[in-house]
């Protein structure tokens, strides 16, 4: 009987560890810059903010110049909604898997560093650390 409990407990711990590393452990953090192409709130059950920026440079077969992301914060979403079509620099966290209530993408944008207008003027200045 004890062996059965240890096996069940071991399988449960392995499952919990898998879920944590797959969906909650931050794999990478970084910044991306480009022109904010689309930004919208969408979803059937969980309404999440989803966006796409087009990065400068040439598109090659191996890597796309589009960066698709999700946003959790209402303040970040408001900033992006107001600045569609402008050049933005975003900070993101990357996970191995997406959760429906967190967004449809593996990349979650948590802050906007800078927004520049079409003529290069700074609309939102980067925050000093």
Which band of pLDDT confidence, cut at 50, 70 and 90, is reported for residue 117?
confident
CATH number at residue 109: 2.40.50
pLDDT of residue 99: 92
Question: Is residue 5 in some structural domain?
Answer: no
Length of the chain equals 129
Question: Is residue 44 in some structural domain?
Answer: yes
Instruction: Please write the tens of the pLDDT for every residue from 69-98.
Output: 999 999 999 999 999 889 999 999 999 999
Question: Is residue 19 in some structural domain?
Answer: no
d(CA 127, CA 129): 6
Q: Structurally, how many domains does the chain consist of?
A: 1
Which band of pLDDT confidence, cut at 50, 70 and 90, is reported for residue 61?
low
pLDDT of residue 60: 66
Note down the domain range covering 90: 26-124
Instruction: Please write the tens of the pLDDT for every residue from 8-26.
Output: 999 999 999 999 999 999 9
d(CA 28, CA 93): 6
pLDDT at 31 over 70: yes
Question: Is residue 110 in some structural domain?
Answer: yes
d(CA 68, CA 104): 9
DSSP string, 81-116: HHTTTSEEEEEEEE-SS--TTT-SSSEEEEEEEEEE
Question: Is residue 41 in some structural domain?
Answer: yes
Q: What is the pTM of this model?
A: 0.82
pLDDT at 129 over 70: no
- Residue 50 CA from chain centroid, whole number: 9
């Amino acid at each position: 009987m004890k062996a059965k409990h240890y096996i069940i407990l071991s399988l449960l711990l392995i499952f919990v560890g898998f879920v944590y590393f797959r969906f909650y452990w931050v794999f990478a953090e970084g910044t991306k810059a480009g022109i904010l192409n689309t930004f919208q709130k969408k979803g059937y059950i969980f309404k999440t903010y989803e966006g796409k920026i087009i990065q400068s440079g040439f598109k090659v077969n191996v890597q796309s110049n589009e960066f698709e992301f999700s946003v959790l914060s209402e303040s970040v979403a408001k900033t992006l909604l107001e600045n569609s079509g402008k050049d933005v620099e975003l900070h993101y966290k990357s996970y191995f898997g997406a959760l429906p209530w967190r967004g449809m993408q593996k990349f979650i944008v948590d802050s906007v560093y800078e927004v520049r207008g079409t003529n290069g003027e700074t609309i939102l200045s980067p925050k000093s650390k």
